[in-house]
Amino acid sequence: MGKANDRHRINERNGTKRSCSRHLLFIFFFLYAISSGHLQMAEAEEMKLKLPLGLKTSALKIPADNPITKGKVVLGRFLFFDKRLSKDDRISCATCHIPVLAFTDRQPVSIGINRQQGGRSAPTALNRAFTNVQFWDGRAPTLEAQSVGPLTNPIEHGFMNNDEMVAKLNSIDGYKKQFKMVFKTGITVETVGKAIATYQRTFLSGNSPFDRFDAGNDSKAISDTAKRGLKLFRGKARCGICHAGFNFSDESFHNLGVGWGHEVVDVGRYNVTQKKKDIGGFKTPTLREIEHTAPYMHDGSLATLDDVVAFYNQGGVTNPFLSQLVMPLKLNDMEQKDLVAFLKTLSGEGWQQIKEPETFPK
């Protein structure tokens, strides 16, 4: 009996040793995988965006040469918030596109390097995954181009050229290693743009009270006042002509007369196309989170949603290039309030959890 117990204890010890050996072997191969770069496969694995209610997968604009991957999202997050991605280490993408402010800065016009003022308001970065041309004037044909455009703007991030920006990132070992793992080619203006654009495509807003009402899931998701406003939005107020589709934008350019009559007029889209018909034209912004993205218009000249509705109600500002879609609406005071109530139902979710990293590559 005693010998049997002894053999049992010996077998237990041997089993424990084999278990420990297997565990140590697993740790060894895991560490080897990290050091040899085998984990790049996980970093390169494509991610699918989880879209809130109301947004459409079929409408996503994701270039074939820049699929969304975990590695690019992580890298893009660092770059988006890193103030070293500016000439003086004081400006990041998030300086003008602040997450808690629905990715705006609540300023009429944005402030860049050396406290210089730009000429336009920072539009929200939300739901950019569904658009191609970017900026108020559409000068960037892709989100990748938009992501690097401000870096060499002398008023925004202030780099003299892209070479200077790339050289600065290359001086940071942590970034060199991350870019090498994610892109293999290392740091270029193209890979910087791809990383930041990929991260921006994760800024989503949906599942608003309007979405729940429109989907038929909750008839009480919006008030009776907002329901009257929705009817006006789609009818008498003519909003849905330009603020069309699930993202409430036709992605086109229109002259509303904003800023017309000032000493200097911003000609908007004309600077890009040089076509007379585009003088004073600016891109239709999304209305999602519109309650949280004041002030409004490309120059931030309208402080509240009430001001915006009143502006449209008067028919914009007359000028030689005013869009034919803009005309007096003849809404009474109650109708204007109803319309504002509807616009506030477009505040959703999908972005509130986004925060700055606690540490950055060194």
Q: What is the pLDDT of residues 190-210, one digit of tens each?
A: 999 999 999 999 999 999 999
Question: What is the domain range of residue 127?
Answer: 57-200
Q: What is the pLDDT of residues 227-241, one digit of tens each?
A: 999 999 999 999 999
Average pLDDT over residues 17-24: 41
Confidence of residue 13 (pLDDT cuts 50, 70, 90): very low
d(CA 356, CA 362): 16
> What is the model's pLDDT at position 41?
54
Q: Which residues contact 242 (CB under 8 A, 6 or more apart)?
A: 249, 250, 252, 254, 284, 325
> What is the model's pLDDT at position 40?
55
Q: What is the pLDDT of residues 71-109, one digit of tens each?
A: 999 999 999 999 999 999 999 999 999 999 999 999 999
pLDDT at 31 over 70: no
Confidence of residue 217 (pLDDT cuts 50, 70, 90): confident
> What is the model's pLDDT at position 27?
31
> What is the model's pLDDT at position 19?
42
Pair 128, 76 in one domain? yes
Angle 56-62-64 from CA coordinates, rounded to 5°: 135
Percent of the chain residues past pLDDT 70, beyond the cut: 88
Pair 234, 320 in one domain? yes
Q: Among all residues, which ones are annotated catalytic?
A: 156
DSSP-based three-state secondary structure for 173: helix
Pair 62, 188 in one domain? yes
What is the value of pTM for the model shown? 0.88
Residue 321 corresponds to which amino acid?
F
pLDDT at 25 over 50: no
Whole-number average pLDDT of the chain = 90
Instruction: Using the 3D structure, point to which of 141, 168, 200 is the last residue of a domain.
Output: 200
Average pLDDT over residues 330-344: 98
Nearest in space to 146 (alpha carbons), one of 131, 158, 161: 131
> What is the model's pLDDT at position 262?
84
Pair 222, 337 in one domain? yes
CATH of the domain at 148: 1.10.760.10
- Note whether residue 102 is domain-resident: yes
pLDDT at 3 over 60: no
> What is the model's pLDDT at position 307?
98
pLDDT at 26 over 60: no
- Note whether residue 28 is domain-resident: no
pLDDT at 16 over 90: no
Cis peptide before 295 (omega within 30 of 0): yes
